[in-house]
Amino acid sequence: MSENFGDWEYDKTCRTEFGEVGYHEVLVMSGAENGGLNYGENRLYNNPFDTDTESELVEGSEYGSSDDPDEFQPDDIQENLHNGVEENNAGVAENNAGVAENNAGVAENMDYDDGVPHEMEFEPVIPGAQMTRDQAILILAAYSLRHHMTSVAMQDLLSFLKLLQPGALPSTKFLFDKELDKIENSRYIFCCLKCGARVPDGSTHCVVDECRHEFNKKKSLCKGNFCIYIPIVQQLKDFFENHEYTTFPKNHKKETDYLSHVCNSDYYLKQLREGKISQDDFTLIFNVDGVPLFSASKASMTPIQCALLEVKNTRSHVFMCGMWFGAEKPNIDVLLEPFVDECCTLSETGVQWTNSLGVQVVTKVHPFVCTSDAVARPVLRNCQQFNGYFGCDWCLQRGRYVPKGGGNVMCYPYQTDVVRRVKEGYEQDALRAVREGNLVNGVKGPSLLSLLPTFDIVESFVPDYMHSVLLGVIRFLVNLWLDSKSGGKAYHIDHDDLAKVNRRLLKIKAPSGIARAPRSLEERKHWKATEWRNFLLYYSIPVLTGVLPRPHIQHLFLLSNSINLLLQDKIPRDSLVNIDLALCKFVIGMEDLYGEENCTFNVHQLTHLVGSVRNYGPISNVSAFMFESNNGRLKKMVSGTHHIPSQIAGKFILWRNLPVMAKKCQIQQARITVLNLYEHLLTTKRKVRISVHINDGSVALGRPKTRDLDAGELLALDTLFGVIDVRIHKVDFYKKVLFDGIVYQSSSYCAGYKRDNSVVLTNNGTYGRITEMVVVEVCICGNELCECDPQPECIVFLKELTVRSSRLFTDRQVGITKSRFPATVTETNRTIAFRLSDVHRKCVLMRIVPSLYAAPIIKTEEGD
């Protein structure tokens, strides 16, 4: 009995299913009523292994900042401790009585389904305990993951529990691991420490005749140069059987006017029409990228990660199926071989699993897209790096070396009529390269990925915008502006101008939908990819206006506006031509404004972004953000310097398998105290004292205030309802309201905080600042003897921000006729009333004297 609000969930029975979602809200109703509205408690749950959402909660999540007066504060601790002494002392007798009652044999477990308690079979792990043995093992497993326990720490804990109750639980780490339901044992694949060739299982020497180096398994495990492979088929079976998920709709008969997800993209529809994939099949996006583990060591891991493209919120369901470990670069064929073999099997025969009705289902899964950075991509394709003459993965443009500084750099100035690479041409070049022993159009030879069905060795690789645009182009430009070697250039930003830009940045109060608050450019070395995204999309144009010359601002606007459009959840197909023109104009402008030597390969990749969008939808669909986020989780699973791959693989498998164990031991039917402990170990909770669930789907947070509506607000209500003199039965004012997983706050509430959640863009294109949010009961029947019983709904009052035109943010040559990202606005005193369902986006409001800018924030599932 639950109702969904985006990432938030209202659950009347507190029986909440936990998958790997980043965070969601559970509203537990207490039963009290006030004017027909239910009061209860809010609890925000966050995945402890999700580094992105954790940072959002600390710095100001969609729920609000940590200095919210409606939340428990550290200053309250002393008072609560003092007031709680008598209560705790008074409860000792009651607790002792409860212990005696449990020891007397109260073994029944009360399960509450729709509020109706009933008995279920229950065998406690020890007499008087509130959980079964299986549930206790599940709790211990979750505890070990939550606190990143080492094997020694886990052994010590088990030894301690053995002293308390011998025989109740496994006494050693070895026995404990045997109790866990592991998906499938991983397998090791070793390489020769001397020549790097694969060492077959059971061999004592390298099989290469010229090497014949002695193989020592223990030595290889210590030094590295091996990979560990975790079969993906069992992970998929577990996902289909034990995880709740929703998929995007598929329609292969009609091409939609908008690109919104991979299922209505050109390449996907082509595969459906040709019968290479079917309506019931799934497709994989995978990533291969190196991750340094320690700052004082060369040791690194290179995981193969993948996710299902058809699944919504796919970043919460990332699979790891292989990992290379060592101080040297991976032997890519050794790493890819088992993955390619298994993917071919999945594409041909599929994975067999049992649905909720007990019916056996076979689902085929096809490898579809690979997203990697410009360093890993050529290794996967067996091609030349970007610093070679034919380094582009999608076209045959020949780069050229030009002088820069004291040396030469490879550059890719804009060219027209460039020949695009195709799959057949790549295969011919690979065979010719092997035959002749030389590079052919930058191709060194065949790639194992060419064996994957439904995978195009050219088109299935995408220019990942996280690496190419955020960590590439925009970071390169900022460093170029601030580089002391640029002194004397028109675009150089000196010390005084840098101080001005930093002041502007630090004054911006970003809404809580943006994970990280703005930081000074002097800290740019430590900026994350999300901070570069925020700077490009929202902050750069306003804070640099008046600092950079006008031509350079207009040039930057082409990139900012284009990436904004390519990140929208719905991209009109007919707009892609103009977006492509804008990006090409930006590439041309790089040579004109910054010189040919600064036309880097990352700049060149911009010419291929629109082609990627046509094939796979918005660039956020196939970005590496979700895999980079998961890399952070994997690094947290390392708790020692020995046998690192085994640590990561074991903990990853256990983490993915927790829902299976929970289902087996019926944790959702456990006592509420046990369930709460399990949820606590999986998540972190933040509480608010009071919330109100409203019939229109919104949730008012905090205590209401009551006053009469003023004349402007009454007039706005008349306009909204289309009736003169609407009859108001009841009105309550709130400072914070939750709707569709997003928190909105009044401007007066935001004034004292670092976040501003009061500026919005409505569905009809109106910008405004929320002044009040009211829960009203309005009657529009017009009957003076009204006996209606109107239902409460949430109404938002805005002070309109009118948009004024700006030639700076238009470019008719590429079809940009009005300013959108950002909009130049002017404050007014006009009050407008809207429903929260009419709000399109929250906005960043930036006051850069003498102008005021509003930039709508983009809703993506990319994470931090």
The DSSP string of 298-331 is --EEEEEEEEETTBTTGGGS-EEEEEEEESSPP-
Average pLDDT estimate for 7-24? 32
What DSSP string describes 70-116? TS--GGGHHHHHHHHHHHHHHHHHHHHHHHHHHHTT---EEEEETTE
Spell out the long-range contacts of 340-346 with Cβ–Cβ below 8 A and sequence spacing 24 or more.
340/448, 340/449, 340/451, 340/452, 342/231, 342/232, 342/233, 343/232, 343/284, 343/367, 343/452, 344/451, 344/452, 344/453, 345/233, 346/232, 346/233, 346/236
- Characterize 465-484 residue by residue with b for buried, 16 or more Cβ atoms within 10 angstroms of its Cβ, and e for exposed: bbbbbbbbbbbbbbebbbee
What pTM, to 2 d.p., does this model score?
Answer: 0.81
When the pLDDT of each residue in the chain is averaged and rounded to a whole number, the result is 81
The Cα-based distances of 311 to 132, 454, 456, 630 in angstroms read: 34, 19, 22, 17
Rounded to 5 degrees, what angle do the CA atoms 16, 20, 23 make?
A: 70
The Cβ-side half-sphere exposure at 153, using a 13 Å CA radius, reads: 11
pLDDT at 406: 85
**Region 11-22: what's the mean pLDDT?**
32
Res. 811: pLDDT tops 50? yes
Q: Which two tokens stand for residue 766?
A: 């109106």
Minimum mean pLDDT range among 161-175, 291-305, 453-467: 291-305
pLDDT at residue 687 is higher than 60? no
Confidence (pLDDT) at 467: 95
Mean pLDDT of the region 258-286: 90
Q: Which of 441, 420, 445, 442 is nearest to 430 (CA)?
A: 445
- Percentage of the residues of the chain whose pLDDT score is greater than 90: 42
Reported as half-sphere exposure (CB side, CA atoms, 13 A), residue 148 has a value of 11
What is the rounded distance in angstroms from the CA atom of residue 125 to the CA atom of residue 29?
31
The larger pLDDT score, comparing residue 254 to residue 513, is at 513
Q: Is a pLDDT exceeding 80 seen at residue 108?
A: no
From 316-330, 390-404, 483-497, the region with the lowest mean pLDDT: 316-330
Q: SS3 sequence, 480-509?
A: HHHCHHHCCCCCCCCHHHHHHHHHHHHHCC
Assess whether pLDDT exceeds 60 at residue 102: no
Length of the chain counted residue by residue? 864
Per-residue model confidence (pLDDT) at position 783: 64
> What is the pLDDT at residue 619?
94
Inform me whether the pLDDT recorded for 13 exceeds 80. no
Q: Give CA separation, 396 vs 127, 252, 419, 440, in Å.
A: 74, 32, 6, 11
- Please give the pLDDT value at position 324: 87
Q: Residue 782's pLDDT is what?
A: 59
Q: What is the pLDDT of residues 19-39, one digit of tens each?
A: 333 333 333 333 333 333 332
Q: How would you label 507-525 residue by residue, b for 16+ Cβ within 10 Å and e otherwise?
A: ebbbbbbbbbbbbebeeee
Distances (CA, A) of 540 to 25, 254, 505, 591, 801: 33, 39, 9, 21, 21
> Which of the pair, 681 or 725, is modelled with greater confidence?
681
Residue 485, pLDDT > 70, answer yes
DSSP 631-681: HHHHHHT--SSSSHHHHHHHHHHHHHHHHHHHHHTTGGGS-HHHHHHHHHH
pLDDT over 90 at 806, yes or no? no
More confident residue, 423 or 220: 423
Return the minimum-mean-pLDDT range out of 119-128, 143-152, 717-726: 119-128
**pLDDT 10s digits, 622-660:** 999 999 988 888 888 887 777 777 788 788 878 877 887
CA 796 to chain CA centroid, nearest Å: 29
User: What pLDDT is stored for residue 14 in this prediction?
Assistant: 32
Q: Which of 224 and 169 is assigned the larger pLDDT? A: 169
| pLDDT score of 234 | 87
pLDDT band at residue 600 under the 50/70/90 scheme: very high
Does 249 score more than 90 pLDDT?
Answer: no
Q: What is the pLDDT of residues 41-63, one digit of tens each?
A: 333 333 434 433 333 333 333 33
Query: 50-61 burial, b if ≥16 CB within 10 A, otherwise e?
Result: bbbbbbbbebbb
Q: In 3-state terms, what secondary structure has residue 432?
A: helix
